[in-house]
Structure 1
Amino acid sequence: MNQIEQRAGQIIPFMQDGSYFYKKGIEAYEKKEITRAVQLIKRAIQAEPTEPVFLCQLAIVLSEEGEYEASNEWLNKIKEEVDPQMSECYFFLANNQVYTGEFHKAKENLEKYFELDQTGDFQEDADALLYLIDVELGMDQLQIDGTNPFTSPLTMRLHEGEYAQAEELARGIIVNKPASWHTYALLAEALWRQGSAEEAGQILTDLLMKEEPDFTARCQYTIFLYETNDEEAENWIRKLKTLYPLNRWERYVAGRALYFVEEFEAAYSLLREAMPLEQPVYVHQLAVAAAQCGRFHRARKLWNQAAVMESDKQPKFLNLKLKMDAAELAEKHDHEWLY
């Protein structure tokens, strides 16, 4: 039980009307009935508009669904009007701001959290979040081998399923940068998806035998083992699920690998923190991951967002929403990922 729930539990006996709707809202949220959960918690707030626990829980639900601006409105209401001493609201506000890339503001709110509560339930999480913020603030621009890996032509060809083109690009990069181990790992995927599993496996094995194995290679090898039905796949998947990379690209690569090995909940948890959502391809990928772990409301909103960003893909996103409603996505999780 987290601190929010504990506080609610302490107050509920004295607020029967609000607590009834709050409890029903939590039950709906646990069943992933997000729209109903939001409605019920809002009714609890109508009954008890100055109860910060209700406002904070609504903010948490909205944040889980990627509604960071709406979540922040409720948290700021607590911070500015209802209970400025409620330390948790500063922690959740900072957490939202990390997702939206507002690292300086996030750091300010975390520092306020530490000031207000030096022994709270979120101390360990706050310490980790502060470290992550410091890492992000120390990186002017994420680059590997001089390019942004999220937008490189090689990465985009893999996203689109253009594996022959991806292979050609990767081999060209390796000619000029023979120590670009990250590129070798992506080349391996282009190869095995074209049927050259033996060559791909050898490339990944060689990368993993280096003194400092490439992280991308580790993730790619996990996918490779799973998709080639290797008995070692389960062990590699279990190890991958224990990792939390601080580097944004590595979080994405790990989340992507977990998606392809059908660990959808773990994948979504990492991807929602790593995706550069100013790029429609990543909005789409996060939508697919959300749909695969039952977050249908979130998936639908993301596909709508992606359709606005890239109108020529609207038929594809509409088709995916229809397949989601018909519970057909799980059959081709690797195919649906493609852009």
Structure 2
Amino acid sequence: MGKNQSVKKDRGQVISFSESVQFFYEKGMKAYRRHDLKQAIKYLQRAAHSQQEPFILSQLAAALSDAGDYHQSNQILTDIIKLDPEMEECYYFLANNYAYLGLFQQARKYAEHYLEVTEEEEFVEDALELLDMITIEEGDVENEWEGEDELIVMQERANSCIRNGQHQEAVSILETMIAEYPEFWSAYNNLAVAKFQIGKIDEALQLTDDILNKNPGNLHALCNQVVFLYSIGQYKEATILVNALENVHPILFEQRFKLGTMFATVGRYELGYKWLKSLKRQGYEGDVSFYYWLSYSAYMVGETHTAQKMWQHVVELYPDKEGKEPWNYTDFSAVDQHTFLQQLTLSFEEERDDEKKMLALYLINELQTEDKLPVFFDIAEKQEHHSIIVDMGRYFFLKGSNKRIPKELSRLEKCLQIADCLYGHTKKDDALIEDTLTLWFQVVKGLYSSTVSVSNVLGWSAAIEYTVRRRQNVMMTQTEVGKMYSISPATLRKYVQAIAEQGV
């Protein structure tokens, strides 16, 4: 090894670093200071791997916490305490992380322990403020689980799995939690999210129904149900719930964040911005999703300066997001509805390929005008088209007329939910919209009368987008596309193969 270097800790202790450790440590800290958290974590992990020095580990834990990986940060902080019990500030950092996770009992325990043992008193004022905040926040928290350390650890593990895309593992953990703690509602909510993300839409919706039957008014369940319904295209059902939630005024930061992101997700940008902006004003520092939705909703209500400023937080956490602002897409609602209806109707009549006719019908249904209903009625009455096109005309007419959808159209409804999912994911790119929907309608035509399952909305959608991007020579990996749809690479491969088997 080369000549040793040294860095001073605040309390004056000198630590010896080898040149290689010093190199990675300094690279990590430079990245940290410029808020490039990915690079900071990468280099600090290299430095910590070479030398298990508590001071380096504490910087790594701080970077992980800033990146929103509170679970990993807590594991490192616990290791530091074992290595150096005198680093009492770690108890305060643990308390802070647990507070962000919403685990207020654990946060209180560590904050109080820090106040008992600290000699340096560097974070005493912060710890006292944290305790005051916890007192306010934990009013509606499930206090009956106080002292259930195993439950808290299991919940952290499940949340970490969901964040890292390990949804099957999360499902297994959460199902175990529910079996042991049948009234721990947050586990049910997380299980519903995990189920939805692996494509088990009906099970996810059933879980939210079960929660609300047993625990009426559960805000997380209501917000999840809205997002689920909206994601699969059941906009009218989602709107009824959204309207009811407009008058809800929660106290907990976590519930405000949930409400704000839900409103922004379903296009109620003013309400989303209201809640997310209020959190920012009160000092809330969330993960990348907080800044994403705050930025997006700010832009959509005309606060472009705030939007750009908040988007920089996203770029700082994920530098590859620079220039990829979510508001850069074509908004069809800005097009003259009558003119667009005429163009799409003409396109439907002139197209020879059934999948292109299906695309035209789908886009007609996206228009916000009742003039589209006679078009659908005429198609449903005429038997000259492929049966699936007749069924689409009938389905869209019944849906637009608020009439009951008969059971024989339920398979088509599932297929159209996948189209809705693709439309929602690709609407920022006109070429991608057309190509993904066209390919999907080709697949639908081939499997419509088969017994092949179309229940996994996210699996089919991700596979369609992945296939189209490959054909467009956009080299995205299956892992990257899987993350966009919150499914595993294995699930994506399964449905890519299913598309290939259709020969389209």
- TM-score, normalized by length of structure 2? 0.37
User: TM-score with structure 1 length normalisation?
Assistant: 0.50
Structure (1 or 2) with the larger CA radius of gyration:
2
